[in-house]
Amino acid sequence: MQSSRKALGLLAIGAGLCAVFLSASDPARRPVRASAGPPVRRSASLPVLPPPPCAPDNGGWTLPEGFCALTVAESLGPVRHLAVAPNGDVFAARNQSRTAPGGVIVLRDANHGGRADSVHQFFVGAGGSGLLLTADAVYFATTDSVLRFPWKPGELKPAGPMETIARGLPSGGHASKGLAWGKDGALYVSFGSRTNSCQRSPDQDRMGPYPGVSPCTELEERAGIWRFDARKPGQTPADAKRFATGLRNPMAMAVEPSTGTLYFAGHGRDQLTENWKWPAEEGRENPAEEFGPATEGIDYGWPYCFFDPRQKVKVLNPEYGGDGKKVGDCNKKAQPAIGFPAHWAPNALMFYTGALFPPSYRGGAFLAFHGSWNRAPAPQEGYRVVFIPFRGGKPVGTYSTFAAPTGNPTGIRPTGLAVGPDGSVYISSDAQGKIWRVLRK
């Protein structure tokens, strides 16, 4: 095994030197990208190194044949979304906890052994989830703002004063914000709903049976994706455009690179059984976690509708007269490209732009699921990272599990994804306080 890894390392060095030569002679060659955002080019002066050794147990992950993993760092606190710099530094958004402050941290592997040698505080303040790395800035989303930090590649601290790009964002309820970078400086920000299914007052939320508000005024300010200008500080939601609506909590977002289309995965509603006395199986298996394109003006139907993954049809919610069969106007709402099993809780989406993995992975998407909490008495599910193949810039409609906990099926709760400059994939978990790196053997 060791001899084969050394041989792979020598091959990687040769291929890497060839790539450096070609990139220097051909400026149009495809750049290595950060996890989400505009191109962040790998410097030709950086050495091409053999891959680090993987952990014998893959850091607790079960992976497809031909892949292995190692733990980059642990005891990090509740790390959420990720981005990786061209030199391999790993940026992580972090929520505040009793043992760790909120903000952004940077992990550096100075000796290239695979594990982080040091952890640096890039920003200490409010906790958050959304994170983007561009060629000259770091964007970080707290629960009520989007912050921009000027940054120089290779640096571990901001290069200048922080700017508040967006402030006064809705908090409470589903307050975590996802970020995605679009064309012409578009900055997409997810606004999760305040309620489970548009209840009339806070004391009715997640209770029932109570009818929903019609029309749902919450949609005017939440439950969708808003487009801001990434270059303009001091914006409020009133300055932004509601880009997509009817999305209860679409915090997993990324732009498909070849078409520029924004994709999302969202959390569906809860408590059909508890609030409406539906059979346990109906509440356990409904609604689907929807994945699909978020084009301008699209409406996926929350709170009026949900997608049943078994019937493969969008039906009315009981708050609006539904019985699990009635379709009503839900056939006029956008249908998902994929309906994932209920309550899996998608938290991060990333398109694979690297070249380390086999060709079948290139151009596809990875989606991290945090896992369910409300499928009892049946086993909880969803704690995994899945791969979604794309062809011609569109999903083919299937998926497969890429990474799942070994042993205890609920032992890891993934929260973030990123592609490294060598094409390896990074995974974070807030519950475990860890970051892993997945390599091809």
Task: State how far the Cα of 156 lies from the Cα of 40, in Å rounded to an integer.
Answer: 16
Q: Say if pTM beats, i.e. exceeds, 0.85.
A: yes
Structure tokens at 316: 């009315």
pLDDT of residue 26: 35
Q: How confident is the model over 4-30, as a mean pLDDT?
A: 36
Q: What percent of the chain has pLDDT over 70?
A: 89
Question: What is the torsional sign of CA 343, 210, 206, 248?
Answer: positive
- Within 10 angstroms of residue 128's Cβ, the number of other Cβ atoms is 28
List the single range of 25-34, 54-63, 225-234, 349-358 with lowest mean pLDDT: 25-34
Task: State how far the Cα of 441 lies from the Cα of 437, in Å rounded to an integer.
Answer: 12
CA angle 405/341/321 to nearest 5° reads 150
Give which of 37, 49, 281 is closest to 179, Cα–Cα.
37
Q: Is the pLDDT of residue 223 over 70?
A: yes
Helix, strand, coil share (%) of the chain residues, nearest 5? 15, 35, 50
Q: How far is CA 436 from CA 7, 59, 119, 240, 416, in A?
A: 24, 7, 15, 36, 10
Q: 19 or 167, which is more confident?
A: 167
Q: Give the β-pairing of 137-142 and 384-388.
A: unpaired
* Contacts (Cβ under 8 Å, ≥6 apart) of 28: none
Measured over all CA atoms, what is the biggest interatomic distance in the chain, rounded to whole angstroms?
A: 67
Q: How confident is the model over 380-394, as a mean pLDDT?
A: 98
Q: 47 or 10, which is more confident?
A: 47
pLDDT of residue 47: 65
Q: 16 or 329, which is more confident?
A: 329
Q: How confident is the model over 205-231, as a mean pLDDT?
A: 96
